[in-house]
């Protein structure tokens, strides 16, 4: 009987991760323990979550003493102590054949991992000072086939436990996917505030914060399903790509809706849906011609992240003797006179107390974050990613982060958030820029905060010694510092600043000028959800109010922005304007890839051209009150051979000679012939 129990012990450790149904099936199929040798009552024990020594003893009273000795030294390893394996799977056919698994479980550092699978081998096992972690480096060669691997963990020669791990076939053409680019218009969504497509997940048992739509800083119930149900609206408005604020788990005590305090890097927050629901959204979006951009946060995690109670190593985070916040000096990376004190404080200081700063100089942490970005890209089928608080992370890590991602997806696009209004400071991080300090970046795109700042300033400028458009004109003139200005993200606002209609003091003419500019200038336009219906927040700049609910996203809403029901006439007009503008842009290839030439603004009018070998568009941004005539003489070099111009938004035909009559403030976009 002892031999039977010992065989059962080894066998049960291998099936510890199976479901109840699989446990029962395995009992009578296992070759080393025949069905007739298994005591009838043992099946009820095996069905339990874990097979424990005290559950087995009643069936072998004559062997109790031997079993007590046996289990006191060995049986503890039969219990499934490993609770996490990340990443949860990988793919064949990746450019980089290596993947590193992070294994977490109680006191597992004494176990020896083993894999027996054709084409896959363990090349290295790393232990840290925390005995609850193992880091296993795998090599997956080109001959490896997709299938289910078994990770076995031995205590000496005894199998302690085993876990399945999936190796999947990479999607055909995955490496060649085209990322978002200047042909796209990005729609930025706060998913908790967009639409509640599945009210059943508003509150999830065991999660800390519950829904409370009445509280402006609470969770309101918007989710992935809500976005999925309105893909037709997004596509119909002329947008071609979706960037959602993070949907990975944020199991924080409060303000968890925004998503930037990650508590699980491999799991969608259950209040937004599931990993599979996210993948379905991306797949359906792609079918509708919509790309997806995922918000990544490699600089910090949430203070409630699962590893915060059991850090892999003492240097997993950037720790200080007392709480120390970043000085937010974004010039630190390129400042030739910067002190070590200021440079360290910028990158190693915490963003806020609830966002622990991750130490990417730890190679295990760096690899974890890079693999996570690649995993989501492959799992979902992403067209790119937006990297939050980009320069706050370690600079050398950022180089490797982008390099490794682009190694797998050479045509993917990554946009970084460097919130600064000086072009040179933003340009430092763009791929292809030759920096004086020798720093090399692989980041292709950046958010164009300098142009945003200049645009808003120019729109609101009331006059002075020079033209009100001059700041925008001169900011664009500084594009010389960028390696690829066409790959910059241009925007009127985003989730971290006041909405455009509020920024221009609810002046509808200025609003139209702002939208027309981002539509027609160089770069990639991004529109914040709700701006198309003039969402505003007078009297406050609180983020929780800026990110208000999109009307019509909840049952019972009196106003429905999706259908137009209940919108004011001005809101409907704005929505129609934005729809015409960006639907036109979809097929205006000259706006996507054409050159830009602008002319010095005069009399509150700013004129520029987008042109290529076949097409030419003239954009007139007019702030002049009342009717006025625009002399076409200064633009002769761009108007040679041109006889007429057709307004892309109204269809009005203009004769392109002499003076062009303008009827008050607003944009005019002329397709020239």
E strands, 128-273, are 133-140, 147-155, 158-169, 186-189, 241-244, 248-249, 264-268
**Count of other CB atoms within 10 angstroms of residue 581:** 25
Active site residue 417: yes
* Cα 89 from Cα 101, distance rounded (Å): 9
CA atoms lying within 13 Å on the CB side of residue 430 = 22
Active site residue 388: yes
* Cα 464 from Cα 595, distance rounded (Å): 31
* Cα 584 from Cα 628, distance rounded (Å): 26
**Catalytic residue selected from 184, 295, 388, 493:** 388
* Cα 45 from Cα 35, distance rounded (Å): 15
* Cα 434 from Cα 593, distance rounded (Å): 24
Angle of the 275-287 helix axis to the 363-380 helix axis, nearest 10? 50
CB 450 within 8 A of CB 420: yes
Please identify which residue in the block is written with the tokens 């505003």: 536
CB 431 within 8 A of CB 441: yes
Upstream peptide bond of 113 is cis (omega within 30 degrees of 0): no
Angle of the 64-73 helix axis to the 2-14 helix axis, nearest 10? 30
**Count of other CB atoms within 10 angstroms of residue 549:** 22
* Alpha-carbon torsion angle 56, 62, 68, 69, nearest 10: -130
3-state helix, strand, coil in the chain (%, to 5): 35, 25, 45
Phi-psi region of 394 (alpha: psi -120 to 50; beta: other; left: phi over 0): beta
Sheet with 524-528, edge to edge strand ranges:
445-446, 413-416, 384-387, 291-296, 241-244, 186-189, 524-528, 489-491
CB 419 within 8 A of CB 449: yes
In whole angstroms, what separates CA 535 from the centre of its chain? Answer: 24
**Catalytic residue selected from 223, 417, 448, 532:** 417
Active site residues: 388, 417
């Amino acid at each position: 009987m002892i031999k039977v129990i010992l065989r059962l012990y080894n066998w049960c450790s291998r099936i510890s991760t199976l479901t109840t149904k699989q446990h029962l099936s395995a009992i009578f199929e296992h070759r080393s323990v025949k069905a007739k040798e298994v005591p009838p009552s043992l099946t009820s024990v095996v069905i339990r979550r874990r097979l424990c020594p005290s559950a087995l003893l009643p069936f072998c009273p004559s062997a109790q003493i031997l079993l007590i000795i046996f289990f006191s030294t060995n049986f503890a390893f039969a219990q499934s102590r490993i609770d996490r394996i990340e990443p949860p799977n990988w793919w064949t056919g990746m450019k980089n054949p290596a993947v590193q698994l992070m294994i977490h479980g109680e006191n597992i550092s004494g176990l020896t991992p083993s894999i027996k699978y054709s084409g896959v081998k363990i090349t290295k096992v790393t232990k840290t000072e925390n005995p609850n972690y193992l880091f296993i480096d795998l090599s997956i060669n080109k001959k490896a086939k997709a299938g289910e691997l078994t990770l076995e963990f031995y205590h000496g020669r005894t199998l302690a436990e085993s876990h399945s791990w999936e190796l999947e076939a990479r999607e055909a053409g995955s490496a060649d996917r085209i990322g978002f680019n200047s042909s796209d218009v990005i729609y930025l969504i706060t998913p908790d505030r967009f639409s509640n497509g599945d009210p059943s997940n508003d509150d999830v048992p065991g999660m800390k914060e519950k829904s409370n739509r009445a509280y402006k800083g609470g969770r309101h119930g918007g989710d992935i399903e809500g976005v999925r149900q309105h893909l037709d609206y997004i596509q119909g408005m002329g947008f071609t790509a979706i960037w959602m604020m993070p949907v990975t788990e944020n199991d924080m005590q409060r303000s968890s809706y925004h998503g930037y305090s990650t508590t699980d890097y491999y799991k969608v927050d259950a209040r937004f849906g599931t990993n599979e629901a996210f993948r379905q959204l991306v797949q359906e979006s792609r079918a509708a011609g919509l790309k997806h951009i995922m918000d990544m946060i490699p600089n910090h995690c949430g203070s409630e992240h699962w590893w915060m109670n059991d850090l892999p190593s003492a240097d997993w985070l950037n720790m200080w003797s007392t709480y120390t916040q970043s000085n937010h000096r974004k010039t630190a990376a390129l400042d030739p006179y910067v002190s070590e004190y200021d440079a360290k404080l910028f990158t190693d200081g915490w963003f806020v107390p609830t966002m622990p700063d991750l130490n990417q100089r730890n190679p295990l942490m760096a690899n974890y974050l890079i693999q996570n970005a690649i995993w989501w890209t492959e799992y979902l089928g992403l067209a790119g990613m937006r990297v939050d608080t980009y320069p706050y992370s370690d600079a050398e890590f950022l180089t490797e982060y982008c390099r490794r991602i682009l190694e797998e997806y050479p045509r993917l696009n990554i946009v970084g958030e460097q919130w600064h209004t000086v072009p040179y400071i933003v340009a430092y991080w763009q791929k292809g820029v030759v920096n004086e300090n020798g720093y090399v970046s692989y980041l292709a795109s950046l958010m164009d905060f300098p142009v945003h700042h200049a645009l808003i300033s120019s729109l609101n400028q009331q006059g002075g010694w020079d033209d009100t458009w001059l700041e925008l004109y001169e900011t664009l003139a500084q594009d010389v510092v960028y390696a690829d200005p066409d790959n910059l993200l241009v925007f009127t606002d985003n989730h971290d600043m006041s909405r455009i209609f509020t920024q221009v003091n609810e002046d509808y003419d200025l609003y139209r000028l702002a939208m027309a500019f981002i539509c027609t200038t160089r770069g990639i336009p991004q529109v914040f959800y709700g701006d198309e219906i003039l969402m505003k927040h007078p009297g406050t700049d609180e983020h929780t109010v800026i990110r208000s609910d999109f009307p019509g996203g909840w049952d019972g809403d009196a106003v429905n922005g999706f259908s137009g029901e209940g919108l004011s006439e001005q809101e409907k007009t704005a929505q129609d304007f934005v729809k015409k503008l960006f639907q036109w842009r979809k097929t205006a290839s000259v706006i996507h890839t054409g050159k830009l030439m602008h002319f010095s603004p005069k009399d509150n009018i700013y004129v520029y051209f987008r042109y290529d070998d076949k097409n030419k568009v003239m954009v007139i941004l007019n702030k002049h009150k009342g009717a006025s005539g625009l002399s076409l003489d200064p633009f002769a070099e761009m108007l040679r051979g041109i006889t007429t111009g057709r307004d892309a938004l109204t269809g009005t035909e203009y004769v392109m000679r002499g003076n062009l009559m303008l009827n008050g403030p607003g944009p005019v976009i002329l397709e020239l012939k």
